[in-house]
A and B are shown apart, each in its own frame.
Chain A
Amino acid sequence: MMLVFSLFFLLPLLLVTIVSAWDYNEYEMIPAFSMRGYSDTFEGCIADLPNLCTILKTYLKTLKLCLLTWVLTLLIGFTVAYFLAFHVRSKTWQIVLTLLCTIPFWTSNVIRMIAWIPLLGRNGLVNRGLEGAGLIHQPLEWLLFSEFSVVLALVHLFTFFMVVPIFNSMIRIDRRLIEAAYDAGATGWQTLVNIIIPLAKPGIVIGSIFVITIVMGDFVTIGVMGGQQIASAGKIIEARLNALQFPAAAANAVILLGITILIISALTRIVDIRKEL
């Protein structure tokens, strides 16, 4: 266990951190200590103040996409999990419906993303439909290759990662607690706020960690659905890798890792997950 953990997690992480502190030129990396990877990344940031430099803008954009995706997956995921846990009475139907949620995962991420393109394109189903219905006169440009389509695809891809842990927390809630709340005169909404949400918190935090870590590092979805026009933290790393600037890519990876760890540790402050697992 420890061996697998060190071999496949700690060692690569260590290598990335080491490489991030190496020097490099246009075509090769030089194994000598240098902070060029970092200083290049933040080049001009201080000089440009009060305007934001590219790297900060990119991170803000990534955070914005991440936040939007998190809010939407949380709302949808919580609702779906609530429905599954409290409105579907029989165990069999709960299992059937949960399995139904996993069916999209039988196709790859990329295919599920690309499937949106014929729907959202200039001459796609949605635009044609709206035009046919006389609601719009010219195609909506913001449907595809926009932040909208990126968030839509991210939500589509990752809502299930929210559903499963929240559902798991919810089915462990003793039904008698809900009866006891009803007995004490709580309305449905009061029960949700005072009993169900606090008790589903571990699931919410675990689901949030899944979604946030995936979206922060994502570059494929943002690339494809954003028409390669939207910059994100993941895309910076990809661009550096394509330019064979491995130390710079590694430096960006370390920065991204640091930011993600900050967000996660803030989340785990809210709930002690170790207690719940």
Chain B
Amino acid sequence: MTTTAALELVQLTKMYGGVTAVDAINLKIPAGSYCCLLGPSGCGKTSTLRMVAGHEAVSSGDILVGPKNVTNLPPADRSTAMMFQSYALFPHLSVIDNVSFALKMKGVAKSARHAEASKLLELVDMQPYAARLPGQLSGGQQQRVALARALITSPQILLLDEPLSALDPFLRLRMRAELKKLQRELGLTFIHVTHGQDEAMALADIVVLMNGGRIEQQGSPREIFNHPRTEFTAKFIGGHNVIALNHETFAVRVDRLMLKRPTETVAGPSVTGTISEVEYQGTYVRVVIAVDDGPEISAQVTETQFDAANYTVGERVRATWDPTQASLLKTASSATIRSPERAA
């Protein structure tokens, strides 16, 4: 039904007055892939998306959709379509008029554009609601209408600005699966902005983690999770302990940390500390350890392991790991690192 295109950003920069929101980023996203722009608020991911969409002027650099340089084209000529945060459906128009809006602007006759819109409503399973107003729909239904509206222009790239943030947690999971399914079926390039790492991990073929207007790291979710290159990545992606040892910093997954008694000898690198908290989580037990002269780290141990050792709060413990399972982090100047806790 639709053709798709690759997206390429070349030295793309956005300045607001003297503030650099997006700092000369280079990015290639292959056609037909699902890409998540991930990062804390203010990292430049939304500015990047809005520049690609054509709703924000580019300060310098280029945007290429397929072979076409679209940097200075209006949104409608870019072969992109945007799905807005909280959807921005026209409240005075019925669902079918919302979906067919772009065709009406092109001057397509009413019957033709309604026929086209009906097909898309069928695709998102919203055909029975064609005559309703957006205000009469639930959040998930509104999202489907917004999707249909974005797809009516047969875009090659679909841009989604935090599409799931307006939904409640249960619906979010369901719509997340629907988005992925739709992307697979249509074979379109999706660029999805989010601040939720779980969302990015579940959906993306490529995760682009941004921080302070730059790309911190990009790659498949597994690459990023298993080989974080910086402390920021390790902390933002979650599930890692950042441990400083002998002037080097490592990221060790919480489930790869092994706990030993201080008296036991260990082969690999290790740190010692006191157990400050034990939390039972059902499938695993989380043990928090206050490392001597260091920060707290946490280990995820299976119930069986935990029962065998039966750790208690206040007990001395040695945490060790297989060096091949740890990622050596680039020591960035800590001033540029935002803690993920502060990221909304």
- Enumerate chain A interface residues (CB-CB to B < 8 A): 174, 176-177, 179-187, 190, 194-195, 198-199
Contacts of B106 in A (CB 8 A): 185
Tell me the bound Cα distance from A181 to B82 in angstroms: 11
In contact, B76 and A183 (Cβ under 8 angstroms): yes
Contacts of A190 in B (CB 8 A): 105
Give the distance to chain B from A173, nearest Cβ to Cβ, in Å. Answer: 9
Give the distance to chain A from B104, nearest Cβ to Cβ, in Å. Answer: 7
Give the distance to chain A from B239, nearest Cβ to Cβ, in Å. Answer: 34
Contacts of A180 in B (CB 8 A): 82, 84, 88-90, 149
Query: Besides A182-B76, A199-B92, 20 other CB < 8 A contacts?
Result: A177-B88, A177-B90, A177-B91, A179-B84, A180-B90, A181-B90, A181-B105, A182-B74, A183-B54, A183-B55, A184-B101, A184-B149, A185-B74, A185-B75, A186-B101, A186-B105, A187-B105, A190-B105, A194-B104, A199-B91
Contacts of A183 in B (CB 8 A): 53-55, 75-76, 81-82, 84
Identify which of A179, A184, A194, A199 gathers the most chain B CB atoms within 10 Å of its CB: A184
Q: Can you list 8 A-B contacts (CB < 8 A)? A: A180-B84, A180-B88, A182-B74, A183-B82, A185-B74, A185-B75, A185-B105, A199-B92
Q: Please give me the residue from chain A that is nearest to B85 by CB atom.
A: A176
Contacts of B201 in A (CB 8 A): none
- Enumerate chain B interface residues (CB-CB to A < 8 A): 53-55, 74-76, 81-82, 84-86, 88-92, 101-102, 104-106, 149, 153
Q: Please give me the residue from chain A that is nearest to B161 by CB atom.
A: A176
Give the distance to chain A from B6, nearest Cβ to Cβ, in Å. Answer: 21
In contact, A185 and B102 (Cβ under 8 angstroms): yes
Q: Please give me the residue from chain B that is nearest to A177 by CB atom.
A: B88
Tell me the bound Cα distance from A181 to B91 in angstroms: 12
Contacts of B104 in A (CB 8 A): 194
Contacts of A195 in B (CB 8 A): 90
In contact, A198 and B92 (Cβ under 8 angstroms): yes
Give the distance to chain A from B238, nearest Cβ to Cβ, in Å. Answer: 31
In contact, A179 and B88 (Cβ under 8 angstroms): yes
Tell me the bound Cα distance from A186 to B102 in angstroms: 7
In contact, A176 and B102 (Cβ under 8 angstroms): no
In contact, B55 and A184 (Cβ under 8 angstroms): no
In contact, A184 and B86 (Cβ under 8 angstroms): no
Give the distance to chain B from A241, nearest Cβ to Cβ, in Å. Answer: 46
In contact, A182 and B88 (Cβ under 8 angstroms): no
In contact, B84 and A185 (Cβ under 8 angstroms): no
Tell me the bound Cα distance from A122 to B54 in angstroms: 57
In contact, A176 and B90 (Cβ under 8 angstroms): no
Contacts of B102 in A (CB 8 A): 184-185
Contacts of B153 in A (CB 8 A): 184-185
What 4 pairs between A and B have smallest CB-CB spacing?
Answer: A185-B76, A184-B102, A176-B88, A180-B88
Identify which of A174, A176, A181, A183 gathers the most chain B CB atoms within 10 Å of its CB: A183
Tell me the bound Cα distance from A176 to B106 in angstroms: 20
Q: Out of B53, B81, B85, B101, name the residue touching A181 (CB < 8 Å).
A: B101
Q: Please give me the residue from chain B that is nearest to A180 by CB atom.
A: B88
Tell me the bound Cα distance from A181 to B105 in angstroms: 9
Give the distance to chain B from A205, nearest Cβ to Cβ, in Å. Answer: 14
Give the distance to chain B from A237, nearest Cβ to Cβ, in Å. Answer: 40
In contact, A176 and B84 (Cβ under 8 angstroms): yes
Tell me the bound Cα distance from A251 to B23 in angstroms: 76
Contacts of A181 in B (CB 8 A): 90, 101, 105
Tell me the bound Cα distance from A190 to B282 in angstroms: 57
Give the distance to chain A from B269, nearest Cβ to Cβ, in Å. Answer: 51
Tell me the bound Cα distance from A181 to B153 in angstroms: 13
Contacts of A177 in B (CB 8 A): 88, 90-91
Identify which of B54, B91, B153 gathers the most chain A CB atoms within 10 Å of its CB: B91
In contact, B149 and A174 (Cβ under 8 angstroms): no
Q: Out of B54, B74, B76, B86, name the residue touching A176 (CB < 8 Å).
A: B86
Give the distance to chain A from B117, nearest Cβ to Cβ, in Å. Answer: 12
Tell me the bound Cα distance from A183 to B86 in angstroms: 15
Contacts of B90 in A (CB 8 A): 177, 180-181, 195
Q: Please give me the residue from chain B that is nearest to A198 by CB atom.
A: B92
Contacts of B86 in A (CB 8 A): 176
Identify which of B55, B88, B102 gathers the most chain A CB atoms within 10 Å of its CB: B88
